[in-house]
């Protein structure tokens, strides 16, 4: 595949952009692959990429029932941070954040990583103590964060109202190298690189059942026919429960809709990401000028990938306290995605009761930021058949053994 470069843009400009190649191929399925990955979201594609790059395994199919990146990966609000409390979480999220730093160069695809800084507001005494504790934990984990004063918050975010009616801003947990990236570009960049390695991305192809023999996986049935495989990796976010059922096991996970919206575009007014977890709202400004706004998950289980009026009202009402200017904005678009939430708000990366079958899910409201780290760890698990250092703590067995990785403070509401 031809490299993207300034020279390529100049060459194509001269010939009216008629020479660009397709970014990824649309092959017919083969009868058998070494590895079948279900789900062409960020996590499935990143797993495939690192299987090829780190382990030389390229006889891989990534099977997607819709279009690649059309699940949560293309619906999220793109916050990237690694300021988690527990050591295993900080390790995998920081690995991911550091991979984002060089992702555009590694993939030869501009993912628009913007390390503009992420701020989590402390608006109660309890939150101050919680975030100070996280800042201390992060210092020990090698993650650069600090607890900052309200004055510093105001310096960084001039449009903020520090003395809101219910919850004044009392400080914030600040991660200066957190930020955002273009979500579609992450999926597209990985897809292009995987296709370039000869992997098959099979879109509009739904997995409908999992075949097994003697306790091991042998293949999957899809809407495009039977496909055999030596190993199966399931990375389907909110559909994890369905795939697990097909493979004959259950997961300690719930599926709920998470919604977000964007405002009309306005002039640049905020160049950091702000999260206000007490009032359930967060906001950043996209490169187009839209204010990107999100809140908490729906309070009931569902599979509808769309928005609802109550969410607009709840989220905007919460944010208006801290950002009065929001009250004068028109909202432009609203949508939803189905997120997969575990009891301890940490992901599952591990072996399953079915032989040669591996699962990666439960990233809930915060798995965009982890895509490269998760793919790195999952590729190691699939290639070696055993978890490595990054994923060892996240196995399914932790729910039986009571080894929870409690991130309800860092991930319960936050993204
Ligand atoms: C509104 C919203 C805001 C969010 N904000 C943030 C944020 O700011 N920061 C952050 O870090 N995270 C955020 N998230 C969470 C993040 O988007 C997800 O954790 C992450 O994208 C999950 O990626 P994935 O690859 O696991 O899943 P997905 O991108 O959902 O991919 C899974 C794919 O599997 C496919 N699939 C399902 N079943 C089958 C089947 N039977 N056969 C074939 N294919 C199948 C689906 O079609 C889908 O494309 C947000 C999520 C939402 C919905």
Which residues of the chain are under the pLDDT cut of 70?
409-415
- Are 347 and 369 in contact by the 8 Å Cβ rule? The answer is no
81 lines ligand 1 (CB under 6 A): no
Domain 116-178+254-342 has CATH 3.30.9.10: yes
- Are 23 and 201 in contact by the 8 Å Cβ rule? The answer is no
Q: Whose CA is nearest to atom 52 of ligand 1?
A: 76
CA distances from 185 to 23, 100, 111, 275, 317 (A): 12, 12, 5, 24, 32
Whole-number Å distance, alpha carbon 149 to ligand 1 midpoint, is 35
Tell me the per-residue pLDDT of 103-148, one tens digit each, with 9 for 90 and over: 999 999 999 999 999 999 999 999 999 999 999 999 999 999 999 9
Q: Which atom of ligand 1 is found nearest the CA of 246?
A: 41
- Are 195 and 52 in contact by the 8 Å Cβ rule? The answer is no
Whole-number Å distance, alpha carbon 215 to ligand 1 midpoint, is 29
Check residue 411 and give its pLDDT. 57
Angle at which helices 125-141 and 87-101 pack, to 10 degrees? 70
Check residue 318 and give its pLDDT. 87
The H helix count followed by the E strand count for the chain is 12, 18
Tell me the per-residue pLDDT of 29-81, one tens digit each, with 9 for 90 and over: 999 999 999 999 999 999 999 999 999 999 999 999 999 999 999 999 999 99
Q: Which of 271, 81, 317 is nearest to 158 (CA)?
A: 271
Per CATH, the homologous superfamily of domain 28-79+183-252+344-411 is FAD/NAD(P)-binding domain (3.50.50.60)
For the chain, give every residue range classified as CATH 3.50.50.60: 28-79+183-252+344-411
Check residue 95 and give its pLDDT. 98
Say how far apart CA 169 and CA 195 lie, in whole Å: 48
For the chain, give every residue range classified as CATH 3.30.9.10: 116-178+254-342
179 lines ligand 1 (CB under 6 A): no
Say how far apart CA 205 and CA 222 lie, in whole Å: 6
Q: What is the pTM of this model?
A: 0.97
Rounded percentage of the chain residues whose pLDDT exceeds 70: 98
Pocket test for ligand 1, best of 253, 292, 368, 373 (most atoms within 8 A of CB): 368
Number of residues assigned to the chain: 415
Pocket test for ligand 1, best of 219, 342, 365 (most atoms within 8 A of CB): 365
Parallel, antiparallel, or unpaired: how do β-strands 200-202 and 60-63 relate?
Answer: parallel
Check residue 374 and give its pLDDT. 98
Nearest-5° Cα angle at 276, 239 to 117? 90
Tokens of 150: 């309200």
Tokens of 61: 């199919």
């Amino acid at each position: 595949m031809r490299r993207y470069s300034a020279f390529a843009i100049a060459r194509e400009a001269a010939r009216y952009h008629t020479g660009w190649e397709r970014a990824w191929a649309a092959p017919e399925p083969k009868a058998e692959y070494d590895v079948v990955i279900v789900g062409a979201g960020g996590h499935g594609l990143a797993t495939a990429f690192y299987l090829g790059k780190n382990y030389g395994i390229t006889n891989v199919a990534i099977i997607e029932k819709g279009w690649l990146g059309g699940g949560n990966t293309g619906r999220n609000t793109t916050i990237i941070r690694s300021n988690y409390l527990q050591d295993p979480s900080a390790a995998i999220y920081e690995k991911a954040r550091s991979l984002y730093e060089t992702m555009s160069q590694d993939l030869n695809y501009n993912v628009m990583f913007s390390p503009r800084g992420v701020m989590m507001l402390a608006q109660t005494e309890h939150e101050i103590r919680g975030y100070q504790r996280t800042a201390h934990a992060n210092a020990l984990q090698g993650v650069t964060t600090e607890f900052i004063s309200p004055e510093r918050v105001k310096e960084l975010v001039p449009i903020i109202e520090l003395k809101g009616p219910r919850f004044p801003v009392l400080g914030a947990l600040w991660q200066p190298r957190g930020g955002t990236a273009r979500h579609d570009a992450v999926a597209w960049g990985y897809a292009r690189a995987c296709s370039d390695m000869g992997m098959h991305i099979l879109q509009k192809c739904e997995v409908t059942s999992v075949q097994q023999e003697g306790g091991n996986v042998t293949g999957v049935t899809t809407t495009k026919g039977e496909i055999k495989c030596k190993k199966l990796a399931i990375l389907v976010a909110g559909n994890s429960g369905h795939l697990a059922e097909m493979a004959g096991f259950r997961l300690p996970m719930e599926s709920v809709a998470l919604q977000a919206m964007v405002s009309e575009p306005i002039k640049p007014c905020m160049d950091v990401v702000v999260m206000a977890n007490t009032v359930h709202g967060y906001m950043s400004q996209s490169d187009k000028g839209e204010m990107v706004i999100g809140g908490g998950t729906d309070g009931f289980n569902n599979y509808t990938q769309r928005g609802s009026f109550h969410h607009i009202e709840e989220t905007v009402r919460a944010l208006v306290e801290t950002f009065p200017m929001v009250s004068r904005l028109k909202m432009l678009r609203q949508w939803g995605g189905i997120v997969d939430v575990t009891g301890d708000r940490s992901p599952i990366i591990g072996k399953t009761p079915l032989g040669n079958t591996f699962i990666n899910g439960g990233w809930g409201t915060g798995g965009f930021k982890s895509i490269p780290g998760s793919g790195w760890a999952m590729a190691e698990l699939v290639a070696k058949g055993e978890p490595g250092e990054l994923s060892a703590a996240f196995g399914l067995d932790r729910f039986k053994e009571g080894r929870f990785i409690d991130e309800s403070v860092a991930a319960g509401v936050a993204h």
